[in-house]
Structure 1
Amino acid sequence: MSPSRMAEYLETDRLLLRHFTENDAELLVELDSDSEVMRYLSGGVPTPPERIHREVLPRLLGQYEKWDGRFGLVAAHERAGGEFIGWFILRPKADGPTDEVELGYRLRKAAWGKGYATEGSAALLHKAFTELGVRMVWAETMFVNRGSRNVMEKLGMTHVQTYWPDLPPIEGSEHGEVRYEIVAPTTDLGV
């Protein structure tokens, strides 16, 4: 079945975002096996394939059920040709309110520098604020991840915090993590 026929979530000019299926484990394994993709997440260490099969994929599929398909991790494909380029995420914290959600993405190296992160994220922000009743969207990355920070800033998100979580050290972690936020636009009718 073509990606365009699988549980479509959102389309942009160049991207199709769809729900993952139980048959997509190898897409996640391939993505997480690239040391450059994983640089700011694990210091370049790949996610073990058995962990993706046993934990990651079942958890993300369960999130669709938990949030009625409204939130979760979605596979990203180029509309022209259907090539898998990575994933985007729009989801609340596990036990958090559904009007405060995390925005994120993980893209294959071949998709970097093409504006896909900004395009997909902007479409998700629009969906969050116009269809899903979201009040605030947040995103986090390492301070030294300038590429992701640039995307957050292009989206109009504001840097609200730098912090140092208790995580295993990876190159650049001494500079901390950053959190960006954006709130739903308000319509002021002057009333």
Structure 2
Amino acid sequence: MHVFLETERLILRRFTENDADALFELYDDPAVMKYLNGGRPADRTEIVTLDLPAFLGYYERFPGYGFWAAIEKSTGDFLGWFHFRPGRNDPPDEPELGYRLHQAAWGKGYGTEGSAALIAKGFTELGVRRVTASTMVVNQGSRRVMEKVGMKLLRTYFADFPEHEQAPGDEYGEVEYGITREEWLVSAASGAHEPPGQR
């Protein structure tokens, strides 16, 4: 198992071709996909032919960046994933943070724990200058995670995401949050956003 990052309760590892069923189960949950595509049923063929190959390709092209399967240490359960990689038109030292977790993992601090650890790794090991994250205006759960790891609201905007048109609240647009290395260093020095048990 290629472990990328370990926290107090999580192991973030590389995806493999054997993770198709786990991804399908995650993507087939209407509650998980509510703010992404309105909760439409997942397409396993699309996961196998598009999503997983894209995940696997990141590891070779961008060392240190990509999509990471989140495994609960105590049970070995697949909780979902985090991504940490530059957007299509962004500089390599400005990765975007994202996460998609099973309902069973909601409200337990896993999103914050994994996000904080990835941000810390980016700023201390990967030469990252700034980290951003985006979600729908109405997705309060995702926004809370961004705020808990010290990110600040940068802007509200409207983007062309056809899949979001099926999601409730699409008419209110998207929000982008961000944190710079300098901002993170200040908060880390005060202990405000230190990820628990990072190793």
TM-score of the alignment, normalized to the shorter chain, above 0.5: yes
With 89-98 and 19-28 compared, the bigger mean Cα shift is at 89-98
Instruction: For residues 8-62 of structure 1, give each alpha carbon's deviation from its aligned partner in whole angstroms, at most 9, with x where no partner exists.
Output: 0000000000000111111111100000000000011133110000000001100
Identify unmatched segments of 5+ residues in structure 2: 187-199
Amino acid of the structure 1 residue aligned with 2:108:
K
Displacement over 6 Å in runs of 4+: none
1:135 aligns with 2:129: yes
Quote how far apart the aligned CAs of 1:165 are: 1.2
Quote how far apart the aligned CAs of 1:95 are: 5.2
Give SS of 1:185's match: helix
Q: Is the alpha carbon distance of 1:167 and 1:94 closer, same or farther for their aligned partners in structure 2, counting shifts above 3 Å? A: closer
Residue in structure 1 matched with residue 79 of structure 2 by the alignment: 85
Paired residues in the alignment total 182
1:36 aligns with 2:36: no
Quote how far apart the aligned CAs of 1:82 are: 0.7
Residue in structure 1 matched with residue 178 of structure 2 by the alignment: 181
Amino acid of the structure 2 residue aligned with 1:153:
E
TM-score, with normalisation over the residues of structure 2?
0.88
Of the three residues 15, 22, 29, the one matched with 1:27 is: 22
Amino acid of the structure 1 residue aligned with 2:55:
L
Structure 2 CA distance for aligned equivalents of residues 167 and 92 of structure 1: 18
Residue in structure 2 matched with residue 51 of structure 1 by the alignment: 46
Structure 2 CA distance for aligned equivalents of residues 101 and 28 of structure 1: 23
Give SS of 2:104's match: helix
Instruction: For residues 134-184 of structure 1, give each alpha carbon's deviation from its aligned partner in whole angstroms, at most 9, with x where no partner exists.
Output: 000000000000011011111110111111112332210111100000000
TM-score, with normalisation over the residues of structure 1?
0.92
Identify unmatched segments of 5+ residues in structure 1: 1-5
Higher helix residue share: 2
Residue in structure 1 matched with residue 99 of structure 2 by the alignment: 105
Q: Is the alpha carbon distance of 1:114 and 1:121 closer, same or farther for their aligned partners in structure 2, counting shifts above 3 Å? A: same
1:96 aligns with 2:93: no
Quote how far apart the aligned CAs of 1:96 are: 3.3
Give SS of 1:85's match: strand
Matched residues, percent identical? 55
Residue in structure 2 matched with residue 3 of structure 1 by the alignment: none
CA RMSD of aligned residues (A): 1.4
